[in-house]
Amino acid sequence: MKTMETTEILELLDANEDLYIIDVREDNEVAQGMIPGAQHIALGTIPDRLDELDASKPYIVVCKAGGRSANACAFLEDRGFDVTNLEGGMLAYDGELEFK
């Protein structure tokens, strides 16, 4: 499984790269904030929402700490998607923002 550190995604966001980010956290977690441009698809709903994803696009998958997004990546990889897990999830992402 491909992984990415938060410093990498911040650099891509700063460079205005076209990113396809899936946030697999629950509604109450997403209400506290998301990465700009991310699409919210809670982990448990991914099988029912596959038609919303484009298999030709590379996705970055994020959750709170990296575990659920790793599960989502495994599921999506098995179905032919190009996915990268954001290591440390939103905890690491928010931590990096504090140090910028």
Question: What is the C-alpha separation between 68 and 24, in angstroms, rounded?
Answer: 7
Which of 22, 35, 53, 63 is catalytic? The answer is 63
Radius of gyration of the chain (CA): 12
Question: What is the C-alpha separation between 34 and 26, in angstroms, rounded?
Answer: 11
Verify whether residue 73 is a known catalytic residue: no
Burial 31-49 (b: 16+ CB within 10 A, else e): eeebbeebebbbbeebeee
Residues 6+ apart with CB under 8 A from 82: 55, 57, 58, 59
The residues carrying an active-site annotation are: 63
